[in-house]
Structures are given as C-alpha cells and as structure tokens.
Amino acid sequence: MSQVRKPLSKIDDYPAYLESCWQEHLLPRQDNAPTVISLFAGCGGSSLGYSMAGFRKLLAVEWDDNAVETFKLNFPDVPVYHGDIHDCSVDWILETTGLKPGELDILDGSPPCQGFSTAGKRQMTDGRNQLFREYVRILQGLQPKVFIMENVSGMVKGKMKLIFADIMRELKASGYKVSAKLLNAMYFGVPQSRERMIFVGVREDLKIEPSHPVAESIPCTVNQAWKSCNNNTFARPLANVGQKVWDGISEGQSGTSYRKGYYFGSAKPALDKPAPTLQKSFSGIGGMLHPVEKRSITIEEGKRISSYPDQYKLILGSYTDKYARIGNSVPPLFMRSIAKHIRQEILDKIPCS
C-alpha cells in the first residue's frame, strides 16, 4: 500500500535544525533501542543518522585507515572491525556483539560504488561491483530483521542493470522481501542533490512488506546551509588550471557533463539551490568550487552541504582525506529519515516474542 503524501515541510533555519538533530544523537539510548551494525561504515555518516533516529550501534566494519580513525574519534564506544571485510567472520561478529542469529534489528551497508558510478568508467568487471557478495554473506549469517543497503543511482543505468538484477536475486534468495527505490537526499534535509538507490529488505517470516520514506522537506539551498558557517580550515588553493576550471564552469553547473578534460569532476553550486553531488575524488583540477570566491570549498562548507553537524570531527589527515570522507559517505540526515521510517513502519510493527 502506498503512503499518503503529506505537504513538504520547510526548514527555515538550517543550522538550528542541524543542531537539533545533533542533540538527538547525544541523547542516552533507551533500553529497548533498536540495534544496528554497519558494514562499509566509512567515517560514520550513516551511523550518525541511525544515532539521531535513536538506534544503538553495535559494530562498524571498515578497512580505510583514515575513515576508521575518524569513526573512532566520533564514536569512541562503538567496536570497529578494522580490516578487509573478506576476513570478517559471522562468528566473530556474533561473539563481539553478543547477538544470536535473527536478533539484530538492522544490518546497514554501503558496498563501494565506484564500479557503478556514472562518474567513473562503469566497467562490468570492476572488482568493487562484487563486494556486495560480502554484504550478502554476512546478511545470511546474521539474519537481521531488516537490512538497508545504499548505492549509487548508476547501478540501474545501462549495462549495470545486469548487476543490479543479480544483487536483487541474491538478496531475495537470502530469505527477504526486498524493495529498491531511488531517493534523493535533498528531500530529506540535505542541501545537496544526491540521488541514491536504497534497498530495504524485511525477513520473510516477519510478514511485513518493505517500504521507503516519502519526500519530507523542501530542498534547502547552499545559502541556507552556509549561514553562519565558521570556516576554520583553509580551502585547497587552485592551481592555474584550476582557476581556468573555475572561470569555465557557470554557477550551478557540474563538470561531469563534460565527461573528460579539465572540467570533469568539478562542480560549482548555485547559492539559491541545493548543491550538486559532492563526490569522493578531489583531483588537482576538480572538486566542489566556491560559487563566488575563486577557491575550492572548505571542509566546513562541505560538511554543511552533506548535513554533518559542525561538532562532527573531520580533523584527521589532509584536505583531500577529509574531502574524501565527506564525499564517500551517506549524508547523516538522509539516513536519519530512512532509519526513522524503518523503525516506525517496520520494526515497531513486529510482534513481541
């Protein structure tokens, strides 16, 4: 049954709204708080979203050194498996968390998406396209009540549809009713047009249909996001070629439309609209450019358009490291909305055993 669409709300003061969501994260967890484990956890974007929605994080799995250290800095009490997911056994997860198969509420994960991305080469043989099988392996072992898997929109475009179909078969064969839907983060409190494929699976024995949240809010603009932004870090200076890129891209334009050359991988947001997708890579001539000042955006500006509260610590490594952490993560407010929906529409409807 489709949900009744409500009028979109309006976020009048974005920094204040972001602060209120941060305060949700700081609240003590209830004894009956739903539980979540995150695979491919990155620096903790999705984990922060779950925490804002009242979930209790039991474990994170991540291999990137900088991402792990950043995660630990922000979630010091959450155990982290720091290593290759191929070597992370289901038995170890169960022993570490004290869970039994079937007890976990949500298994979350964002398998690396570069092989699917329309901003990349989109090669069918890219090994990263197969990392979802590690997600499926752990899913089959843990048998959580619900799983949520996030990936780029490019997996349902062109030749990548074959891999998408393979993923759907594997997930359903694991004992789940599965629904996949494209959602754009800008309708869920994130000042960034970031379209992602969201898979939701509900274990078949629970006899509840999977569903997705509907759009909640009118998109916030870059101007709203950067209100009172305290830029404590310097923007990466633009080399001569970078200045040429800045001059050549109009406000509100993304260089990915060029597909190659100087402009590829660059973007210049319009102040009166949501930002375009902030990507992981910041090449010597690309990245997110400031729309007025001839420079790249600062880390603080990047955090704001990705819905990271100012208090979230992205202080480790180089500018490129910090930029990659933001661009490679799930915007916290996006996952907050998804997690709240799953809690209210699925988990809360499961009969107590």
Cα 53 from Cα 130, distance rounded (Å): 30
Alpha helix segments (H runs only) across the chain? 14-26, 45-52, 65-74, 90-97, 132-142, 161-173, 222-225, 240-248, 299-305, 319-327, 332-345
Cα 245 from Cα 3, distance rounded (Å): 44
Cα 231 from Cα 319, distance rounded (Å): 13
Edge-first strand listing for the sheet containing 146-152: 80-82, 56-62, 35-39, 106-109, 146-152, 195-203, 176-184
Helix, strand, coil shares of the chain as percentages rounded to 5?
40, 15, 45
HSE-CB at 131 with a 13 A cutoff on CA atoms is: 24
Residue of 88, 113, 220, 352 with catalytic role: 113
Structure tokens at 168: 């759907």
User: Catalytic residue at 21?
Assistant: no
Chain Cα centroid distance, residue 111 = 11
The residues assigned a catalytic role are 113
